[in-house]
Amino acid sequence: MNLVYRIGYTLSRWTAKAFFSYRVHGADHIPEQGGVILAANHTSYFDPPLVGVASHRAVWYLARKSLLEWPLLGPVFPSLNVIPVDRDGNDRTALKSIIRLLKSGEGVVLFPEGTRSLDGHLQKAQPGLGMIVAKTLVPVVPARVFGAFEAFPKGAKRIRRHPIDVCFGPPIFFSPEKFDTASRESYQKISDEVIQAIGKIPPPPRQQK
């Protein structure tokens, strides 16, 4: 971790613990070395940092290019391992950056659903994750964030203090045989497999209703 990342990591984790009684479960499923995708559900703006600080190793994130234009935080985001992406089009530069990072042994946080859920439930996965897996063959560690939707859902005007847990499942390994053809259909199957693994992660006791 660079100095700015380490400071951001420490402050984010402390804030999450102080305000949301933040807890992490199953972080030992994240490999110590080598390229890895942390694939999580997406219900809140809080999800990227919550998943990121649950990892004991530095990870990279995708974020809208417009976020880098923010007056104070914008210039800091690149030092926090944020990769700008143009959400209005097919940003191949960001995609190539993700693939290059994974092949070089880095960890990346991705959200198979592509956008935040409006009701807190898992949405259909997009094929993009499957394509990245096909081109890198790195393991995918499924993660599920519980409580972030209740704390700060899409469209909310204020933040609620609600317990938040991040739970990781066992890594999923993919062999080249999984990708008999380089097609949208084969990529979609991989993304579907990952989203199903995310859906099978049970909530910790305090999140159960």
Q: What is the CATH number of the domain that holds 33?
A: 3.40.1130.10
Mean predicted lDDT score pLDDT of the chain? 92
If one counts the domains in the chain, the total is: 1
Q: Give Rg (Cα) of the chain.
A: 16
Model pLDDT, residue 77 = 86
22 vs 175, higher pLDDT: 22
3-state secondary structure of 9: helix
Structure tokens at 118: 């409006």
Q: For residue 159, what are the CA distances in angstroms to 24, 28, 54, 148, 155?
A: 21, 30, 21, 10, 11
Answer yes or no: is pLDDT of 11 > 90.
yes
Q: What's the pTM value of the predicted model, to 2 decimals?
A: 0.94
Measured in residues, the chain has a length of: 209
Which phi and psi (to 5°) does residue 3 adopt?
-60, -45
Model pLDDT, residue 87 = 67
Model pLDDT, residue 69 = 75
Q: Domain limits at 36? A: 3-207
